[in-house]
Amino acid sequence: MTGPKDLLEGAPSRPIRVPKAGEIFREGDRADALFRVDAGCVRLETDQEDGRRDVIAFLFPGDTFLAGLETRWASAYAVSASTLSRFTLRQLLDGREQDRTGAVALLSSIDEMLHDIIHRVALLSHATANARVAWFLGWLDERIGGDFPDEVHLPMTQRDIADFLGIAPETVSRVFRSLEASGQLRRTPDHRFRFRKNPDRNVTAVNAQRPGL
């Protein structure tokens, strides 16, 4: 989701500030603009009829998101207080000279998200809860770890993570605890963590509750 930041450089945009938990748009809204995250963290989600929720993506500075060319197929909320740049589709598509640039920026943005989500499908199809959480931590570390060499801030709740990874929040908690026990994960009280990918030793099931024996 590391978007085509540079492709949007020249395009006109309007700055947007969204408080923590603030709504950016909702599923079903008319889609008339593309957003770029400049600071903070944004959550893209869809709500199922049965009350369940699916987190489609977490977006960080540099990422762009659109979620629909006519109608939004997902809702967007700020996980933490965020600043965004808003680019209208009209401007991106209608300019004369910038025609290709704007369109290609859109294309890249969507295609990149598609690519990312394909990876998620693979993860959701086959990976265990352990592997999902490990992948998530590694991804987060790589994505936003640059700012803090040792410890990465975790802006979203465990419920968010659970809905992102397709597992129960209790399972997320258990995996975290298990990773801490094995030394792969260290957490601070202020929601920062340090994760190092272990060469897979000691990979037992999280909920390995030996049945009575």
Partner DNA sequence: CGGCGATTTGAATTACATCAATCTAGGTGG
Partner DNA sequence: CCACCTAGATTGATGTAATTCAAATCGCCG
Residues that bind DNA (CB under 7 A): 128-130, 157-159, 166-174, 176-177, 189-190, 205-209, 211
Long-range contacts of 157-162 (CB under 8 A, 24+ apart): 160/43, 160/55, 160/58, 160/79, 161/55, 161/133, 161/136
The reply on whether position 107 binds its own copies by CB under 8 A is: yes
Among 99, 142, 170, 180, binds its own copies (CB under 8 A): 99
Of residues 71 and 128, the one with the C-beta less far from DNA: 128
List the one residue from 122, 148, 170, 182 that touches its own copies (CB under 8 A).
122
- Rounded to a whole number of angstroms, the minimum distance from the CB of residue 69 to its own copies is 5
DSSP codes of every residue in 34-54: EEEEEEEEEEEEEE-TTS-EE
Tell me how many degrees the CA angle 187-64-193 measures, rounded to the nearest 5.
5
Q: Report the SS3 class of residue 133.
A: helix
Q: Which does residue 207 touch among its own copies, DNA, none (CB within 5 to 8 A, set by kind)?
A: DNA
Question: Of DNA, its own copies, none, which one sits near residue 158, judging by CB under 5 to 8 A according to partner kind?
Answer: DNA
CA distance 75 to 43: 8
Which of 166/169 has CB closer to its own copies? Answer: 166
Q: Does 191 bind its own copies (CB under 8 A)?
A: no
Report the C-alpha gap between 44 and 62 in whole angstroms: 15
Work out what residue 130 binds among its own copies, DNA, none; the CB cut-off runs from 5 to 8 Å by kind: DNA
Min dist. Cβ of residue 114 to its own copies (A): 5
